[in-house]
Structure 1
Amino acid sequence: MTDMNSSSPSGSTVAEAEAFLAAHPEIEAFDIILHDANGIGRGKIIRRHELLSFYKSGRHLPISILGLDICGEDVHETGLIWDQGDGDLRAWPVPGTLVPLHGTNPPRGEVFMTMYTLEGEPMTSDPRHALARQVEALAAEGLHPAGAFELEFFLLDPERDQYGKMQPARDVLDRRSSRKTEVYSVDHLHGMLPLMSDIYAGAKAAGIKAETLISEYAPGQYELTLHYREDILQAADDLVRLKRIVRAQARAHGVVACFMAKPNEDYAGSGMHLHVSMLDDAGKNVFVEEVEGDWSETIRHAIGGLKETMGESMLVFAPHANSWRRFASNSYAPVSPSWGVNNRSVALRIPAGDIRARRIEHRPSGVDASPYLVAATVLAGIRHGLQNRIDPGPETTGNGYDAEGGGKIPADWREAIEAAKASDFLKFALGEDMHRTFTAIKAAEYARVMRTVSEVDFDLYLHTV
């Protein structure tokens, strides 16, 4: 049992907080953030003088904070509300996540936290612990996952158009507007450079290496890539933190950052591709083949496991009603568990490039998914493939949307929920408690959507039936 008064079960130290306060005398307050099953940051804002106490003793938070739906409503079926008397557990700082925030007035910092029982054991409905458990299991097998996420998002005007539709944000530089698909246009990026410069500054302050910026394949859509991490937990932290930075800086510039998977039915949606490789205890990438293009058994088995488990895992990769609007042929979103080389029409892609950087690009996830649960599920799929030496079958060449025999994914959100609820693999991937929590939340959200009378109903039926 951990002594709560003297030792943090997360590994955080008071010395880290003391050094930070000494280095940043200007900071007056801190956002302390716990990420729930939907990836939403929940927590508190504490004052400067409270930080050391947080590092010394943690912070009591209600267990129900991890049983909330997308609207912040209790989901009783998680077993985390009145079954537990809505009691408190204790959240502790995540080491290395204490950073200053860029452009706040007065100056603020932030730190991530993760939940533990009062006895100091990991709280098993915390998504970060689900990922940590898979990382630890791989380490016991002599493997260490490395990776990075890609962040796609839209920048939208706060005002809708005359038809009630979201519209691309005007350039923050000179208020110029464009409704064209400015894909890979460098000149188009220039109009957003003041905002993007603040995003890069925020990332730098937070210790994140945000890298390449592109204009993506829809009006108002952009992509930022992140530096590859040898610690995949840190890669997930980078992604949720960068989303928060983008949202805050966009708001400061008078535009809306949108992380819906599909905000516009006429254009491509936003993905959250995960690039992942596997290192052995000596730091060697075990996915690397001896002869370029002659794929190693290791990477083939990893792909085989990801293919075999993809269908029952799709709720993790596409967790919301809107997520399922992203999947359409010729949309750069995969529609079957296919794999291929240097091919963006498949779900599992081996990118072209330096053989030493051999990796799998996992493409099904939307940007609305939790990176912690996505990474946990991907790592579990790789473990499943390696342990059972699963053959992925022939690679898809050419147009993956026309390929046959690659298997199926659920047809819609409801089917994905039912597949996830019945999945023994997903219980293995997330842990039984996280699996119960996540699927209960999704079922409750599905019920909420289905009982809501939307504008679509009136548009289709008001004057016709």
Structure 2
Amino acid sequence: MSRDLAARPAAAADIAEAEAFLAAHPEIDAFDLVLIDLNGIARGKIVRRHELLPIFRSGRHLPGSILGLDVTGEDVDETGLVWADGDADRRAWPVAGSLVPLPWTSPPRGEVRLSLFELDGKPMAADPRRALARQVALLEADGFHPVLAYELEFYLLDRVRGEDGGFRPLRLPLSGERPNGIQVYGVSELDRLEPFIDAVYRGAEAQGLPVETMISEYAEGQFELTLRHGTALRAADDLAMLKRLIRALAVRHGMMACFMAKPFGERAGSGMHVHASLADAAGGNLFADAGEELSPLLRQAVAGLLATMEESMLVFAPHLNSWRRFSAQSYAPTTPSWGRNNRSVAVRIPAGAPAGRHLEQRAAGIDSNPYLVGATVLAGMRKGILEKADPGPETTAYAETGSDALPPDWRGAIETAARSSFLKDALGARLHHVFLALKRTEYRRFNAEVTALERSLYGEVV
């Protein structure tokens, strides 16, 4: 086969999906092609209507280096995706079921999500979506069908910074006032945010995103949205695209949507909690309670997550700012721990009907990549099940931290991830290498920056 002619992968969307969409939406003349990189950032291009069918028929060339960009969008040659292979193209193929309208655009545009493949049709190992698909396949080979749901915590901020250059909470659209105090679960704040909330729900419906509950969270301007559970790949796709929807709608409502793990030092951080269970081939919940006791399979999965948490922290907290979220007496876990109906632990068993029992992994920040988080969570669960591991005693009160329970900071997490055979297997060797190259480059970049606080503390003192 010619190097320029890509074999069509079995996972690519059928051209009938594009034909039906174009027939139903004659008003749409342009489409966003969206690929999620290793930092969870949406990258791609806009194409015209006449280009869509050829993309569904034959794919579209994109440089492999798009997955070798750091958080600033710069190439990282150490990934092996830039000059080592001449910045070679791969072939991007549409993800089945991802062709949707963009409800915030005028004139109207559509969107299709992409996954990268080698020119011979094999999945590109550095594509984060591939890492999750691989873990799903391994579990399915064992007879387990993973079901995931993500929670999305985020801040809505004023687009105009304060005099000190810092972020400020939004002005609520209906009152023009900023939120007053924490007001967790406050309904007045949600009511005064109604135009934005309505736009989110309408946009989610247009895009087929299963958005459910919205909550005023534990800080001024912080909110949470939940997504209904689904297959692992669909759940991660939904989370990635919901972030894009919220960010775009916030701009159009005069606000800024912030998905930093810790935008304010003195206020709550934002997590990406992952709810997970395993189903049998008929859809029955294998984590359902066994009489009065938790399912042995659920306990084994919890044990696997606890045993691999230290090695997984770079995935759950991938940026410098991520590590500011973990502090005592907060809702971010600071030790590998588990418990029922306890929000201070790393792996929580939520209250609820025994038939719907599942676990909730609470370590990941909202700034992490949902595909990598999902892959790592499923790999940890699978490890615990294969080893028939025991999670030990549950935590019934606040989960205190241990001195060496987890990496102490970003650099420690990078070093731990580099040594981890578990993480290398969970992500795949190629993606593990690329991810570490990006994180090491970003660490060097940020570590070289002299901050305003350093100048203030040391400038005329030491």
Tell me if 1:440 matches 2:437: yes
Letter in 2 for 1:330: Q
Deviation at 1:9, TM superposition (A): 3.8
Deviation at 1:242, TM superposition (A): 0.4
Letter in 1 for 2:350: P
Cα distance in structure 1, aligned partners of 2:384 and 2:5? 40
Higher deviation after alignment, 241-250 or 170-179: 170-179
Cα distance in structure 1, aligned partners of 2:456 and 2:204? 43
Deviation at 1:215, TM superposition (A): 0.3
| Structure 2 unpaired stretches of 5+ | none
What is the SS of the residue equivalent to 1:112?
strand
The corresponding residue for 2:241 is 241
Cα distance in structure 2, aligned partners of 1:125 and 1:360? 28
Match runs of 1:309-320 below 5 Å: 309-320=308-319
Deviation at 1:96, TM superposition (A): 0.3
CA contact (8 A) 2:32 2:110 kept: yes
CA contact (8 A) 2:6 2:119 kept: no
Tell me if 1:41 matches 2:42: yes
Tell me if 1:421 matches 2:421: no
Deviation at 1:8, TM superposition (A): 4.3
The corresponding residue for 1:454 is 451
Letter in 2 for 1:299: L
What is the SS of the residue equivalent to 2:334?
coil
Cα distance in structure 1, aligned partners of 2:24 and 2:5? 27
Deviation at 1:297, TM superposition (A): 1.2
Deviation at 1:147, TM superposition (A): 1.4
The corresponding residue for 2:90 is 89
Cα distance in structure 2, aligned partners of 1:165 and 1:464? 25
The corresponding residue for 2:394 is 395
Which deviations, in whole Å up to 9, do the C-alpha atoms of 1:20-51 show, x marking residues without a partner?
00001111111001111001111100011110
Deviation at 1:330, TM superposition (A): 1.1
Letter in 2 for 1:143: F
Letter in 2 for 1:59: R
Which deviations, in whole Å up to 9, do the C-alpha atoms of 1:428-458 show, x marking residues without a partner?
1000001001011001000000011222222
Match runs of 1:52-451 below 5 Å: 52-229=53-230, 231-292=231-292, 294-401=293-400, 408-451=405-448
Letter in 1 for 2:152: L
CA contact (8 A) 1:8 1:58 kept: no
Deviation at 1:162, TM superposition (A): 2.6
Cα distance in structure 2, aligned partners of 1:9 and 1:85? 28
What is the SS of the residue equivalent to 1:268?
coil
CA contact (8 A) 1:261 1:322 kept: yes
What is the SS of the residue equivalent to 1:77?
helix
Q: Give the RMSD, CA atoms, in angstroms.
A: 1.5
CA contact (8 A) 2:6 2:120 kept: no
Deviation at 1:165, TM superposition (A): 1.9
CA contact (8 A) 2:64 2:81 kept: yes
Cα distance in structure 2, aligned partners of 1:411 and 1:103? 41
What is the SS of the residue equivalent to 1:282?
coil
**4+ long deviations beyond 3 Å:** 1-9
CA contact (8 A) 2:12 2:95 kept: yes
Deviation at 1:11, TM superposition (A): 2.9
Deviation at 1:4, TM superposition (A): 5.1
Cα distance in structure 1, aligned partners of 2:187 and 2:460? 47
Cα distance in structure 1, aligned partners of 2:32 and 2:95? 13
Q: Percent identity?
A: 55
Deviation at 1:282, TM superposition (A): 2.4
CA contact (8 A) 2:157 2:256 kept: yes
Cα distance in structure 2, aligned partners of 1:98 and 1:163? 43
Letter in 2 for 1:18: E
Which deviations, in whole Å up to 9, do the C-alpha atoms of 1:331-352 show, x marking residues without a partner?
1000001000000000000000
Cα distance in structure 2, aligned partners of 1:279 and 1:49? 41
Cα distance in structure 2, aligned partners of 1:335 and 1:92? 40
Higher deviation after alignment, 14-23 or 176-185: 176-185
Which deviations, in whole Å up to 9, do the C-alpha atoms of 1:69-128 show, x marking residues without a partner?
000111111111111110101000000000001131000010100000000000000000
TM-score (norm 2): 0.97
Cα distance in structure 2, aligned partners of 1:321 and 1:459? 21
Cα distance in structure 1, aligned partners of 2:131 and 2:425? 10
Aligned pairs, number: 461
Cα distance in structure 2, aligned partners of 1:436 and 1:6? 26
Cα distance in structure 2, aligned partners of 1:446 and 1:412? 11
